[in-house]
Amino acid sequence: MNIRDFETRVRYKIRGWYGRQEYEDLAVQRIINLREEYHALLSTSKREGLASLLDYLDECGFYYRPSSADRHHNYPGGLAEHCLGVYRKMASENLSGLDEESILIVGLFHDLCKCDMFYFVGRSIHAHKRDGHGRRSVRILRRYGVPLSGEEYRAIRYHMGRSDNPKRLKDPDFAKAVKEPLRIAVNKADHEDAAEACSRAKRK
């Protein structure tokens, strides 16, 4: 999708959220910048399937969607902003020597499942019902031909939830994932980025 068509689509989808044209203009430019950063980061990767996946991100509205209806990053562009924030935290705090490309893929796409979940109606956020948080994210990646290592799969699939949950620990894949550095890193970064966003929102 060319940049003009992308901008037109974003403006249509977030219409009514800001009320004032100058605020909408700033938001649209921020969303365009998020898209450009995704493209720049992923251009460094030789992972298969990324070109098709990037086309899908435009089509599904990934860059302008919020990350939640009433929690963190609940505004236009919040989903991509959150995923970039998680990636940056993982990359900057990589004390375990994790593979940089694994950090890139897991950080940027851990919440890919939200790509078509939330939508705007004026000043309100509504949600389509979608099942399977991490499970759906890895399913979308595979649909577009993006291969994942076992540890990458488990990090995305099980990035949510406490590592000491007795019920979930009965699942051998979850029990394995919570001990792996990549899953530990994305779980930590996810919580930290969400908490920081909530804190910023309270100060406004």
Which 8-state DSSP code applies to residue 121? E
CA distance 31 to 151: 31
List Cα–Cα distances, 70 to 143, 177, 201, in angstroms.
Answer: 29, 29, 11
Overall pTM surpassing 0.85 (yes/no) = yes
204 falls in which pLDDT band (50, 70, 90)?
A: low
List the beta bridge partners of residue 121. 124
Enumerate residues 6+ apart whose C-beta is below 8 A from 176.
Answer: 154
- Distance from chain centroid for Cα 18: 23
Over residues 65-120, the pLDDT tens digits come to 999 988 889 999 999 999 999 999 999 988 778 999 999 999 999 999 999 999 99
Q: Is the pLDDT at 199 greater than 90, yes or no?
A: no
CA distance 50 to 40: 12
* 132 CB-contact burial (10 Å; exposed 0-12 / middle 13-18 / buried 19+): exposed
Q: Is the pLDDT at 59 greater than 90, yes or no?
A: yes
Sign, CA dihedral 125-13-56-73, equals: negative
- How big is the CA angle at 3 (ends 125 and 32), to the nearest 5 degrees? 50
156 falls in which pLDDT band (50, 70, 90)?
A: very high
pLDDT at site 203 = 58
Over residues 7-42, the pLDDT tens digits come to 999 999 999 999 899 999 999 999 999 999 999 999
Q: Is the pLDDT at 173 greater than 70, yes or no?
A: yes
What separation, in Å, do the N-terminal and C-terminal C-alpha atoms of the chain show? 35
Q: Is the pLDDT at 47 greater than 90, yes or no?
A: yes
Over residues 134-151, the pLDDT tens digits come to 889 999 999 999 999 999
Enumerate residues 6+ apart whose C-beta is below 8 A from 135.
Answer: 113, 157
